[in-house]
Amino acid sequence: MHQAAHRLGGRRSIGAVILSTALLLAAAAPAFADSGPLLSVLAPTSSVAKGSTPTFKVQLTKRGHAFINEEAPWAVFVVVSRRKDRDGDGILKNPVFLSKMNGDSTFTATPANRSYPAYWLRQPGTYYWQSYVIQCKPNATADCKHEIAPRTLKVRKN
């Protein structure tokens, strides 16, 4: 009888663990639903011609619209670098181009068309670009930059 009671108690313990796990997962479900990028990439494609002036274009995702708090200032930026290295906030280091993007829901930025030979859009090679939203909520202690993964952009020889 003692063994039967122990087995029954064991079943109750397993049942309690299953129930606790289910409750934890149910509570965590909204957090998982909130994950994902705030921005989706619309342009440019993976390569551009040397000397061209591509327009970088991103759009707020559904999560991005829900995330933005109009009470706190926010902005969308694009950064281009020759290297994949990122800083502690996840943003590409050593930018050759950095710009605030313009727009309401869809954001764009177009680099100036510079004619000097050392300008990055006149230098064929592989570059990396990413966009990010900056918004620091009131009393925020965490990273205020919400970046997308860097994308590759090749500047082709004509």
pTM (global) more than 0.85: no
Residue 44, preceding peptide bond in cis (omega within 30° of 0): yes
Which pLDDT tens digit goes with each residue over 112-141? Answer: 989 999 999 999 999 999 999 988 777 766
Q: Is 23 exposed, middle or buried (0-12, 13-18, 19+ CB in 10 A)?
A: exposed
What pLDDT, on the 0 to 100 scale, is given for residue 141?
Answer: 66
Domain positions in the chain are 1-35, 36-156
**Maximum Cα interatomic distance, the chain, rounded to a whole number of Å:** 91
Nearest to 99 by CA among 112, 117, 118: 112
Residue-wise pLDDT for 44-92, tens only, equals 878 999 999 999 999 988 888 887 877 778 899 999 999 999 999 999 9
Question: What dotted CATH number matches 36-156?
Answer: 2.60.40.10
Report CA-CA distances (Å) from 24 to 27, 30, 32, 35, 51. Answer: 5, 11, 12, 17, 55
